[in-house]
Amino acid sequence: MTNNHFPSVYTADTEQTTAPITRRVLLECTAGLLVASGIAAGSIQSANAAQKYAKADVSYQDYPKDGQSCANCKFWDGAGGCEIVEGEITADAWCAVWVVV
């Protein structure tokens, strides 16, 4: 008679046995899955971070808006560029993804 509380496991000589899934095994497997999913999520975020927006997609303009400009934006790199908008960016410009420093 088979114990229905434990999964069936087949050994090398095809003899069917049952093995309990302990709390420790369950936690180790769960932790492994969480780490794997975190690595996958990190890879996706890294891929997205490498992609920059086109100026037209973020309503880029060559003049500031209400005191907001690229020079005082979190994404301004200080050297004529932006971390998230492609192309050459001027310090006096503004776009819709502006974020205070």
- In the prediction, which pLDDT does 51 show? 87
Q: Tokens 């006096």 — which residue?
A: 92
Residues 75, 82: contact at Cβ < 8 Å?
A: yes
Give the pLDDT confidence of 14-56 residue by residue, as tens digits. 666 666 778 877 777 777 776 766 766 665 555 555 689 999 9
Q: What is the DSSP string of the chain?
A: ---TTS-EEE-TT--EEE----HHHHHHHHHHHHHHHHHHHHHHHHHHHH--B-GGGGT-BSS-BTTB-GGGBTTB-SSS-BSSB-S---TT-B-TT--B-
Q: What is the CATH number of domain 52-101?
A: 4.10.490.10
Domain spans, the chain: 1-51, 52-101
Higher pLDDT, 80 or 39: 80
Query: Considering the entire predicted model, what is its pTM?
Result: 0.51
What does pLDDT average to over the chain? 80
Q: Tokens 């690595």 — which residue?
A: 39
- Please, which pLDDT band fits residue 87 given cuts at 50, 70 and 90? very high
